[in-house]
Structure 1
Amino acid sequence: MTQSDGIVKPKTKRAKRFLQSRAPKLAEDAKNAMIMKGGNTSLTVSQALKDIYSLKKPSAVMYKKKNITRPFEDSTSLEFFSKKSDCSLFLFGSHNKKRPNNLIFGRLFDFHVLDMFELGIEKFVSLGDIKGGKCPEGTKPMLVFAGEAFDMDGEHKRLKSLLIDFFRGPTVTAVRLAGLEHVLHFTALDGKIYMRSYRCLLKKSGCRTPRMELEEMGPALDLVLRRTHMASDDLYKTAHRQPRALKPKKKKNISHDAFGTKLGRVHMQKQDLTKLQTRKMKGLRKRRGEEVAKEGEGAGPGEGPEEGQAPKVAKVES
């Protein structure tokens, strides 16, 4: 590939396919994450990175070599590696005296750092320390967030969005019941964030719907929020902008409720119900005798049959 005036021109078909895979798309692929170590790491940080990598696989890249960099001071190396590995998410682990057992979750937009959150590990239980079954690789987890801070505090709201991006996995159109195997639970309480991982067990309940139990699988982390780097509101809004081709076209008088049910509105003119054609039944017909009786009741003293005419006799059906 040759580069002139900032435009990369491929020389081979393979290079052309590579550039096409990296080009912007209407429907982007699943977000990949790169996991790397800092210049100095502890055993706790190294094991935590391995466990999170096992949960994130296969949409993750693990760097084994140490990278002497400080993301909050200089993020150029992170941006270089993200462009090289085509990753829009990253997890950086480090350890020092001032900030021991440090994890930095972050995401990038257009290969530039968008958000970063520094979390300190206060307690850690590894995936191998908890005995029991494990979920297979590539299982899409169910994410549960508990705590008022995720809905009230601005930093925790942005952290919740970042964690959803990091652990959500690929986008699917349908999920079978047996595929609901993994649960990631995040709890914000008293300034700390508790991350727990569970495996779903389907038990017999005596009816068609099974009874579900949760078994702790690991890893388990008690985290505390340290430093943050959040993008401005304008840049954050730009990063969430969708192309017009993906926006659904509005149709008149058609709406959807919260459960996705399509609702339609029909406009009708005002109807004259007096001319409404109903079903004719023999039992509802007016009889001849009833009509004559009503006419006789309405006749006055001077009214009656004319001279020379016989009075009308009502016919009664037997």
Structure 2
Amino acid sequence: MGVVQRVKKPTTRKGKKFLEERGPKIIENTKQSLFFYGRSSSETLKRCMKDLYHLKKPDAYPLKGKHDVLPMENSTPIETSSKKYDSSLFFFGSHTKKRPNNIIIGRLHDHQILDMAEFGVENFKSLDEFEGEKFPLGMKPCLLFAGPQFELDPTLKRIKNLLVDAFQREPVSSLRLQGLEHVIMFTCHENKIHMRSYRISLKKSGSRTPRVELEEIGPSMDLSVRRTKLASDDLFNSACKKPKELKVKTVKNIKRDVFGSKLGRVHIRQQDIKKLQTRKMKGLKKTRKERASHKKPTKSQPSNKIDN
């Protein structure tokens, strides 16, 4: 027989507020990421993890020390840490002779492992190796993906979805052109994903549309796909299911144009134009002859005159 765990309800206002923040919400908070290392690491891996942590700040939490964890073999420690720190993303770095400069990027659903992808870092260049201004803290990057493999290969298509989930921030409803200052581009070529980071500069072009220039600011790396552990289609679809409160209810015969104006369509029966009530004007009144021609014949009525 299994052990039944006793669920203790909070008795203080602070405890209730803490559980409400950890509980499910209709609109989720910004996803937090955990950064930690395995039993051994290299100098290249440390600089790579440091730059990735800089990309994710302030929505990231580093775990100190070394951890005897093998995510691909046993994911229980990661699920425990995810529940403790209320995070749904993790970046794990390790370095061994068989898999040097190894990074595992994964995500969780309901504090259970959903997807994991293992990459080997090659041709790494850190942020310090590039000159010029860097992106400010908390900047929302523009994510670009190039390569037909991201759409043709099912595994790379799921990896693309994982990378979007890992590097995006809170969603926005509108965007200002001057707000685009940072671009992260992923190019897939020969089973390798080339990651590059650029700063956007808007220059005068003599027209309303500015001239766009890209300046590489780092980090720069080539990621070779080693191992993956992806969720089934049914589990992935259930994790992506939207709550009923966020679904937009369709209203018949009502739509919006490109400017956001609300347009409605009214259906009426077919009408006789001759019987339509128009504006009462002297020029539109019928003459005596027209009224006499349209007047229905009446039955002969007895005369009320009295003969003398």
Normalising by structure 1, report the TM-score.
0.81
- How big is the shift at 1:242? 1.4
Q: How much identity, in percent, do the aligned residues show?
A: 53
Gap runs ≥5 in structure 1: 280-318
Gap runs ≥5 in structure 2: 280-308
Partner of 2:219: 219
CA distance in 2, matches of 1:189, 1:259: 40
Partner of 1:167: 167
- Find out whether 1:145 has 2:131 as its counterpart: no
Counterpart of 1:48 in structure 2: which amino acid? Answer: C
SS of the residue 1:7 aligns to: coil
Cα gap change, 1:8/1:146 in structure 2, threshold over 3 Å: closer, same or farther? farther
CA distance in 2, matches of 1:130, 1:268: 68
Partner of 1:42: 42
CA distance in 1, matches of 2:151, 2:260: 24
- Find out whether 1:118 has 2:89 as its counterpart: no
CA distance in 2, matches of 1:191, 1:261: 47
CA distance in 2, matches of 1:264, 1:172: 28
Cα gap change, 1:80/1:259 in structure 2, threshold over 3 Å: closer, same or farther? farther
Report how many aligned residue pairs link the two structures.
Answer: 276
- How big is the shift at 1:61? 0.8
- How big is the shift at 1:35? 1.1
Cα gap change, 1:159/1:58 in structure 2, threshold over 3 Å: closer, same or farther? same
- How big is the shift at 1:275? 7.2
- How big is the shift at 1:69? 0.6
Partner of 1:244: 244
SS of the residue 2:144 aligns to: strand
Partner of 1:84: 84
CA distance in 2, matches of 1:68, 1:76: 12
Partner of 2:299: none
- How big is the shift at 1:272? 4.9
CA deviation profile, 1:17-75 (whole Å, cap 9, x unmatched): 11111011111111111111111111111111110111111111112311111000001
- How big is the shift at 1:236? 0.8
Cα gap change, 1:144/1:68 in structure 2, threshold over 3 Å: closer, same or farther? same
Cα gap change, 1:176/1:6 in structure 2, threshold over 3 Å: closer, same or farther? farther
SS of the residue 1:128 aligns to: helix
CA distance in 2, matches of 1:257, 1:157: 33
- How big is the shift at 1:209? 2.6
SS of the residue 1:169 aligns to: coil
Partner of 1:75: 75
- How big is the shift at 1:247? 1.0
Counterpart of 1:30 in structure 2: which amino acid? Answer: T
Normalising by structure 2, report the TM-score.
0.83
**Aligned counterparts, 1:160-309, within 5 A:** 160-255=160-255, 264-270=264-270, 272=272
Cα gap change, 1:261/1:88 in structure 2, threshold over 3 Å: closer, same or farther? farther
Partner of 2:300: none
Cα gap change, 1:257/1:102 in structure 2, threshold over 3 Å: closer, same or farther? farther
CA deviation profile, 1:109-131 (whole Å, cap 9, x unmatched): 01010000001112101011111
How well do the aligned residues superpose, as a CA RMSD in angstroms? 2.2
CA distance in 1, matches of 2:115, 2:94: 18
Partner of 2:25: 25
Counterpart of 1:204 in structure 2: which amino acid? Answer: K
After superposing the two structures, state which structure 1 stretch, 32-41 or 270-279, moved more.
Answer: 270-279
SS of the residue 1:47 aligns to: helix
Counterpart of 1:247 in structure 2: which amino acid? Answer: K
CA distance in 2, matches of 1:271, 1:6: 72
CA distance in 1, matches of 2:231, 2:178: 39
- How big is the shift at 1:261? 7.8
- How big is the shift at 1:266? 4.1
Higher Cα Rg, which structure: 1
**Aligned counterparts, 1:99-118, within 5 A:** 99-118=99-118
CA distance in 1, matches of 2:116, 2:260: 34
CA distance in 1, matches of 2:271, 2:73: 74
CA distance in 2, matches of 1:32, 1:198: 24
Counterpart of 2:126 in structure 1: which amino acid? Answer: S
